[in-house]
Structure 1
Amino acid sequence: MNPYKDENNSSAPYEVASSSSLSRQILSKVPEITIFFWIIKIMATTVGETAADFLTFNLNLGLTQTTIIMSSFLLIALFIQFRSKRYVPAIYWLSVVMISVVGTLITDNLVDNYGVPLETTTIIFTFALIVTFALWYKSEKTLSIHSIYTAKREAFYWFAILFTFALGTAAGDLVSEGFDVGYWKSALMFATMIGIVTVAYYRINLNSVTAFWIAYILTRPLGASIGDYLSQPLSAGGLALSTMEISTVFLVTILGLVVYLTKTRKDEYVIVKEE
């Protein structure tokens, strides 16, 4: 699924009108959507679930302290990301992993510390995401991530990402625990939904931007369900694996892929913009 097509499914975000047109190339601040993007994204969402639990419970930091620490790291990562002039795999994916953990912690804080029901948090973050998309589109006339080359568009992008992670955590927990579907069944359900979106994109020409954001949102509850299935005790329907071991394996795999992408630059995207 490649959203690096515009809303009319053209092959580039900006088409050069004629050979005499003046144009310039701009390096995108986000990666091209390849299979590597989706692999790292799903693993990052799983890490968001398991790392948050490891820091909160295994290291006994508690939700509040863990949220403060990880939010600080996230702000540093995003500061570096915004300062960068182009997409840098290490910086971008560090920001994604950090925002995955923080998004999980935001939902966990609302549910565990303040007693907000999962149904309510799911509605809250759905509304927050809709508002973000509405403001983004009103301002920029597009939600396509291939057009992200200004600070304003990048800010909209990262707000949307944060709310997708918080929403995915809430929705994933609501389905697997609140509705008692179970972790592996929830993961299978969300994976099937992503499969349906993919088929719709390739077979019935579902708008590429719409397809991307639906799939992106669904990968979060998929990752949350996978993380819970791997880490939760057997009595709760999980595999009772260590959150530290799960987080380590996934982080090492992400690191390996990031190193590969840094060396090959396979997911670097250049925007051709008309002057």
Structure 2
Amino acid sequence: TFLVAFKEVSAHLRGPEDFEFVTYRLMQQLKEETVLHAEVYVAVGVCLYRKQDFAAIFEGLERGRARGARDFGISLLWIFDATRHFGVEEAQKVFELAARYKDRHVVGVGIGGDEVKAPPELFRGVYAYAEDHGLRLTAHAGETGPAESIWGALNLHAERIGHGLSAAQDPDLIEELAYRQIPVEICVTSNLRTGCCKTAAEHPVKNYFDQGMMVTLNSDDPALFGTSLAREYQFAQETYGFTDEHLRELARNSFEASFLPAEKKLELLSLFDAAAAR
């Protein structure tokens, strides 16, 4: 299962140099896929749970990011992720670290983990703290939990929804997400590998797109799921009939949904549009 693989792989990431190495390698791979900007989740909650020295780990992450930015010209921002079933107090620690490192390419926070054991309502206070400290807000919601989990994430003022599969069960929620253009981070391969969707035909990605929701395609955990962003786009076209124009729209959505300043979004969008026109 994914959780077994995650534990096995992440157990080998111990010292700052390990995190520097994987960050640099990630940026090298992103360059090969012609990615211009990435917003990368760091499982800070897991590091704290393992009693790792996160201050040292973060220095490794930042060294890898700085080297990757210099060598590959890629912009990268961090999102600090709390593990919701570890509890609210642990999430608060993660969000406090995000606030501490906010001036060092940490742009936002999120929660992942067991939606049923730890529904979004529990985290109102910690999300308010993050918002007050100028952090951008994301939440995994509706991956394994019901549509109510997504409504709950919206009530936390989440600006992006991770996965959002169960919105398919609630027409009012689809209408709300489409009206407000709340980005939904879709990870098709991940959803199939974890069994959240039994078959590709069950996946709501094309339905969401056709109903006007702001969908982005994402790789989730590319190394663990054996995928890449390029493969996600290819799979979407081959499986769901997204046209080239649709794929360009999905790619543009990713820039719009990013937490970059408006002027940087425009700069990258113009680079993308020029490349897409060739």
- If each structure's strand is expressed as a fraction of its own residues, which one has the higher value? 2
Give TM-score, length-normalised by structure 2.
Answer: 0.33
- If each structure's helix is expressed as a fraction of its own residues, which one has the higher value? 1
Q: Which has the higher contact order (CA 8 A, sep 6+)?
A: 1
Give TM-score, length-normalised by structure 1.
Answer: 0.33
| Structure with larger Rg | 1
